[in-house]
Structure 1
Amino acid sequence: MTNRTEASRPRRLRTVLFVGLGIVAIVVIAAAWVGVRALLAKGELDAIVPLVDDVKSAASDRDLNRIDTLASELADHAERATALTSDPVWRTAEAVPWLGPNLAAVRIASSQLDQMSRKVVQPLVKVAQQEQKTSSGGSLDIAGISAAVKPLAVAASTTHRAARDLAAIDTDALIAPLASGIHRLSTVVDSADATLGSLSKVATVVPGLVGADGPRTLLLVIQNNAELRTGGGITGTFIQVRVADGRLALTGIADSSQFRRRDASIIPVPASLTSLYGDVAGRFVQDASIPADFELTGRLVSAWWASRAGTAPDAVVSIDPFVLKSLLSVTGPVVLPDGSTLTASNLVKRLLVDPYMTMTTEQQTAFFAEATSAMFARLFGKGLDPLAWVQGLQDPVREGRISVWSADVSEQKRLTATVLGGPAVRQTLSGKDAYAVYLNDRDGGKMGTFLKTSITAGTAQCRQDGVRTVGIDVSLTSTAPANAASLPVSMTGGGLYGAKAGDIGLIVSVSAPKKAFFGGVFLDGKPIPSTNVVDGDFAVSAAHVDLPPGRTGVLEFRFTLEKAREPVILHTPLVNDPRIRTATPTCG
């Protein structure tokens, strides 16, 4: 028995040895397999980097054919990278300490690039190519616009999943080069996620607005940021456009001087709005853009237009001159009847400054009508390049310079889920930590071109009960010349509306989350009177300030709120964009 036992030991040792060697061999082979595939996958991903830059360049040139070719190349590389990183051996290796998270990150990045290539880039290029072929002579391809809704929805959901999966990667566990690459990819995808998310929602409304269900009358309202209102500026120019069978026709133009003031509001407005800004929003057509609620602005504008034209529009689209500037940057200049040109570089000055410095009221009316007709012909009289329009409108949309209201209840409900829903909607969409700074002129002139602003926001723990203090500081500077009082009355307001001629007079309000408590307003460190009301879904605090030429004033708004986090800041679209920064407010 002993001899047999001793004889079996070498056999067991050999078996263990062979099994051990087999395991080692499998591990070595698997490591080699994963290593080779990792190198190949890296090569595929490295090849994608310059292609992305090439796609951006082709997009700037609006070369859809080039984008299509590049998109196919990008898709091929992404597909091969996905195939190299998705086999069972690779997935098993992801469990290995230190190495595993890096392998998982490569797989996720490869997979998401593949998905976005096939379900986002290529389909949207096809949509744009089709639109480019069928939109000509100023007409809209309504069928093509309707057909784009589904691809946009798929692209948006795909991009959102990619953003979510990339955000879940723990970059601290990755080697530095890979972490950097994942961060760059996440930044690009996050930007695309925000854009496509909004665009896909807007796309569900556009077909109806442009006549898919029958002819529509749209009222385009151009706000003038030189005289500030919550939404951007006074509602100064009104353009009626008829859309039928894909064709756009300009059927009416008016400016604010053609609407008489009223003794009573043209439609009811909330008492909270009157408390904040006075009894003006429904009595003067210029003040229709005071409400942060653009649904109210749309109904006000519709009522004003109906009082003049006899019929109400189907929808109201509000823009400002910076939207036109952005469009001209991609479509080219506009030649006016006098032979001069409006360009992206001179449009703001020619529309917001020059008329009020050199023209009478009658001359201003004539000039705005001529400029409007010329720009309409330039923008809609030729083929409508969809990529050019997307490029021209993406920044104004992001800056809150375009808002839309529809008289159709179903369309309006969908609009209130998009960034085109107006200031209050944009604040809601920005989350529970969003605060909006609104500026409304009270000098009656066009002094907004001389206004420089900056906004500082932050939170501090000033109490023992866990409630935090939120500070929103608004720094305002008048760059008006020392002799501003001698400028034309149409520029200064002539001291007739509450501020001295040459001063910039403002009502500054901060819209906070509804559950916030008011903590007062301070001007240059000293407490001043303020109006504090709940307006719709927000707690709003407002105060007045006048700025003589060269003066800087800092308004400090304070709120208290449980579990307050760093504020997200929105603001009235301005002539000069404000600098926004974060700082901890002082307590006491």
Structure 2
Amino acid sequence: MVTTLKTQIVAQDVKGAKATLAKLRPKVNSARDLTSDPIWRAGEVVPFVGPNLSAVRTLAGATDSVVVDAIDPLVGLLDTVSPDSIKPVNGAINLKPVIAATPKVDAAAAAFAKATKQVESIDTSSTIGPVTKATKQMAEMLTKVDSQVVQVKNALHVLPGAMGADRPRNYLIVFENSGELLPNGGTTGSMALLQLDNGKINLVKQSSASGRDFPAFSDYVVPIPEDVKKLYPYGLGRQVQDLTITPRFSLTYEVAKTMWKTAKGDDIDGVIAMDTVTLGNLLKATGPINVLPGLQINSENAVRILLIDIYTMYPDPATVDKINQTISVGAFSKILGGGANPKALLATLLKSGEEGRVKMWTGNKAEQDLIKQTPFYSEPPVSTADTDKFGVYFMDQTPSKMDYFLKAKVDVSQAVCSDKHRYVFTRVALNSTAPANAAEILPPYVMGNGVLVAQGYVQIGTSVYAPKGYKVLGTAIDAKPSAAPMIGTDGEYTVAQGVQQMGPGQTMTLDVLFDAGETKTKKLNATVTPMVNPIVTTYGTLDCAAIGK
């Protein structure tokens, strides 16, 4: 019943949660009373029986404490703190319910923490199977929920400040073009400056990333590590279009903050970036937007129109910039005016965050510590004791808008071979689904520059980030070994790079072989630059004979 109640709370099912709680209260009260009377306590000193009675008493008391001191108050908050209750109305979010809820959530978090310690202290070395199983089950549930409640507690403490309760906050929203890939998303298309002042939200400024609205810089606007300069020699720290050319969103934040201050004069407290796919999905929550007479954008047509059709319909780049800004501002205007479905909006943002399409960074440490626990945190993946994590990042080198047609398959396989070394092999296959007559039906603005590009080709620079301690043994393009493989570092990461160039209908592979040294087999995981099309990621076993090991 506690598990059911948790599900109902997460789903904002107020009626269901209250009904379940009403049934649960008398049960936990009865269990606590039955296991805390003198006869029960006396039985705890009986050999063999005692440890079981003691464990059951502790479980009953912990459950009662969780229900009375934690779950009951949290259910009571469902009426006042929910996506519906804190959605913007006339451009402002009411922070009072959040502030009022904070003490109750603090108390609930303390109750969960206390109960978790109580259950973890139970000695199950002498208990019978059912008691041992129940103890383990409750300990696992409490540990998970305790962590989640702590996150909610932390969020409530920092949210008012982030919304400008103590002083106005400026957030730069960066809209990325998914048709022109960069390692952490896509090229910057347009930007909007939002100011939050005690819950009131204002759109202060807008700018496209084109040279018509935003300058390029002749030198790096912030210090860039030398090894990173070698990996990304063009654009990083000098062109606003390339804000997400690095997979480190912390660096993106520093660059964006400095560039905007220099070009527009405003101090920035945080940066939020989202790609075209996210913007299109937001329209599920906001409804369609009328952009120009006869042009309506909705969740079904947004990505295709914004990445391909817009260029054939409006050849003038200035008109394209205007449309992109109109769409992004139109979506935000509906959200800020309360015209968006809050649950659909939240679900869309969370899903996009999990796919790497929405990223956030703030200069406030407490707020950034919270973001680090969410899907919106974006840095190269950190390996753990049992999992080696890789990053596979794409950068359009054409440049064109043809990445709308790209599909990707990433396979990571491993084996410990006869020399006792563990070898990891990554294969990145990129396929262009561009129409054969792309050059005839798409404008030069989409195709890019150069002879091959004019024929519908797209050129992608792929970077494969491996964990610390990995050594690159070699790379190959379409199974042809590279005579001089491009190998570098980004801080603690070993990085192998290769260039893949595909015409319409073609597939090209980049292979990288790593030596992980004399280490045991681990789980493998790869984070990949999000594309318009879904990415297929697989993990397998490497054939040592195939690599001569």
Task: Specify if TM > 0.5.
Answer: yes
Cα pair distance change 1:145/1:247, threshold 3 Å: same
Cα pair distance change 1:281/1:163, threshold 3 Å: farther
| Structure 1 match to 2:409 | 454
Aligned identity (percent) is 25
1:414 aligns with 2:391: no
Q: Contact (CA 8 Å) 1:71, 1:117: kept in 2 or not?
A: no
Kindly provide the amino acid, as one letter, of the partner of residue 439 in structure 1: F
Which of 189, 193, 196 is 1:240 aligned to? 193
1:214 aligns with 2:167: yes
Could you say what secondary structure the match of 1:228 adopts?
strand
Displacement of 1:351 in angstroms is 2.3
Deviations 1:95-126 (CA, angstroms, capped at 9, x unpaired) = 79xxx9xxx99x97997798479635861661
| Structure 2 match to 1:16 | none
| Structure 1 match to 2:328 | 372
Bigger drift between 352-361 and 504-513 goes to 352-361
| Structure 1 match to 2:358 | 402
1-side partners of 2:308 and 2:22: how far apart?
Answer: 49
Cα pair distance change 1:328/1:162, threshold 3 Å: farther
| Structure 2 match to 1:554 | 509
| Structure 1 match to 2:235 | 280
Which of 242, 253, 260 is 1:298 aligned to? 253
Q: Contact (CA 8 Å) 2:386, 2:522: kept in 1 or not?
A: no
| Structure 2 match to 1:391 | 347
Displacement of 1:273 in angstroms is 2.1
Q: State the structure with more CA Rg.
A: 1
| Structure 2 match to 1:472 | 426
Cα pair distance change 1:495/1:210, threshold 3 Å: farther
Which of 166, 176, 180 is 1:227 aligned to? 180
1-side partners of 2:279 and 2:107: how far apart?
Answer: 30
| Structure 2 match to 1:12 | none
Could you say what secondary structure the match of 1:274 adopts?
helix
Alignment of 1:179-194 (within 5 A): none
Displacement of 1:210 in angstroms is 1.6
Bigger drift between 468-477 and 330-339 goes to 330-339
User: Normalising by structure 2, what TM-score?
Assistant: 0.79
Bigger drift between 269-278 and 111-120 goes to 111-120
Alignment of 1:449-528 (within 5 A): 449-465=404-420, 467-486=421-440, 487-495=442-450, 501-528=455-482
Cα pair distance change 1:271/1:564, threshold 3 Å: farther
Q: Contact (CA 8 Å) 2:460, 2:500: kept in 1 or not?
A: yes
User: Normalising by structure 1, what TM-score?
Assistant: 0.75
| Structure 2 match to 1:37 | none
Kindly provide the amino acid, as one letter, of the partner of residue 368 in structure 1: N
2-side partners of 1:504 and 1:193: how far apart?
Answer: 49
Displacement of 1:53 in angstroms is 7.5
2-side partners of 1:187 and 1:51: how far apart?
Answer: 16
2-side partners of 1:375 and 1:508: how far apart?
Answer: 33
Displacement of 1:379 in angstroms is 0.6
Kindly provide the amino acid, as one letter, of the partner of residue 244 in structure 1: D
Which of 547, 557, 570 is 2:527 aligned to? 570
Could you say what secondary structure the match of 1:369 adopts?
helix
2-side partners of 1:92 and 1:322: how far apart?
Answer: 64
| Structure 2 match to 1:8 | none
| Structure 1 match to 2:205 | 252
1-side partners of 2:151 and 2:402: how far apart?
Answer: 34
2-side partners of 1:387 and 1:94: how far apart?
Answer: 54
Bigger drift between 503-512 and 204-213 goes to 204-213
Could you say what secondary structure the match of 1:295 adopts?
helix
Could you say what secondary structure the match of 2:523 adopts?
coil
Unaligned runs of 5+ residues in structure 1 are 1-44
Alignment of 1:132-171 (within 5 A): 132-133=84-85, 136-146=89-99
* Residues paired across the two proteins, number: 523
Displacement of 1:84 in angstroms is 9.7
Could you say what secondary structure the match of 1:491 adopts?
helix
Could you say what secondary structure the match of 2:185 adopts?
coil
1-side partners of 2:60 and 2:305: how far apart?
Answer: 48
1-side partners of 2:492 and 2:65: how far apart?
Answer: 42
2-side partners of 1:327 and 1:283: how far apart?
Answer: 30
Which of 6, 25, 28 is 1:79 aligned to? 28
Q: Contact (CA 8 Å) 2:166, 2:198: kept in 1 or not?
A: no
Which of 442, 445, 448 is 2:397 aligned to? 442
Cα pair distance change 1:110/1:249, threshold 3 Å: same
Q: Contact (CA 8 Å) 2:93, 2:199: kept in 1 or not?
A: yes
2-side partners of 1:323 and 1:198: how far apart?
Answer: 25
- Greater helix proportion: 1
Deviations 1:450-495 (CA, angstroms, capped at 9, x unpaired) = 1111222232112423x31122222221111112233212222133
Kindly provide the amino acid, as one letter, of the partner of residue 393 in structure 1: L
2-side partners of 1:312 and 1:463: how far apart?
Answer: 58
Unaligned runs of 5+ residues in structure 2 are none
Cα pair distance change 1:230/1:84, threshold 3 Å: farther
